């Protein structure tokens, strides 16, 4: 299987094949509008504005599996993100990233890179606390919380998995390497 064999649902219910993104660098993020990490939308938008014309895409996949921090329907989530953070990158339908109803895309991503990259003692402590709160993180490789990020190169290889504590700006060097 390849990242390009996956399909996402848009907020209007239509399907979007990731094969349309072949040749682009992708940052895939499970997001939430009511999370302590929600301000990362600002950094994500900054990266998107800087690199979208150079073959970079962000795929925003809202998820309500972590503390019910993505309340509302897809339209309400979209409105919040565009009004609060002026986001312009693609946002897809709210989906699950762990468990029996997880998106096949997340099954694939987790099979390619099973652990988050977490650096620094403070971030490690935060993530240990977050893991204890996560009721959907049941097995090795599961997504631990909102704003876990996967970086995919132009050939469709998963080249990075980053914890929620990794700010988007910290990924700029990695993104530039693959652009």
Q: Which residues are catalytic?
A: 35
**Phi, psi of 110, deg, nearest 5:** -65, -30
Q: The dihedral of CA 57, 109, 78, 132: what is its sign?
A: negative
CA 14, CA 164: separation in Å to the nearest integer? 29
What per-residue string of b and e applies to 120-158 under the rule 16 or more CB within 10 Å gives b?
A: eeebeebbeebeeebebbeeebbbbbbbbbbbbbeebeb
CA distance 7 to 58: 15
Structure tokens at 94: 């709210």
């Amino acid at each position: 299987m390849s990242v390009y064999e996956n399909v996402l649902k848009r907020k209007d219910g239509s399907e979007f094949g990731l094969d349309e993104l072949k040749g682009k660098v992708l940052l895939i993020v499970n997001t939430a509008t009511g999370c302590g990490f929600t301000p990362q939308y600002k950094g994500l938008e900054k990266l998107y504005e800087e690199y979208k014309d150079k073959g970079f895409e962000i795929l925003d996949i809202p998820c309500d599996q972590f503390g019910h921090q993505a309340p509302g329907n897809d339209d309400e989530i979209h409105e919040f993100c565009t009004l609060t953070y002026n986001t312009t990158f693609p946002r897809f339908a709210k989906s699950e990233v762990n468990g029996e109803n997880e998106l096949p895309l997340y099954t694939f991503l987790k099979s390619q890179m099973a652990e988050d990259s977490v650096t620094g003692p403070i971030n490690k402590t935060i993530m240990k606390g977050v893991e204890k709160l996560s009721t959907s993180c049941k097995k090795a490789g599961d997504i631990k919380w909102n704003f876990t990020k996967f970086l995919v190169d132009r050939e469709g290889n998963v080249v990075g998995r980053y914890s929620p504590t990794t700010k988007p700006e910290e990924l700029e060097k990695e993104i530039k390497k693959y652009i």
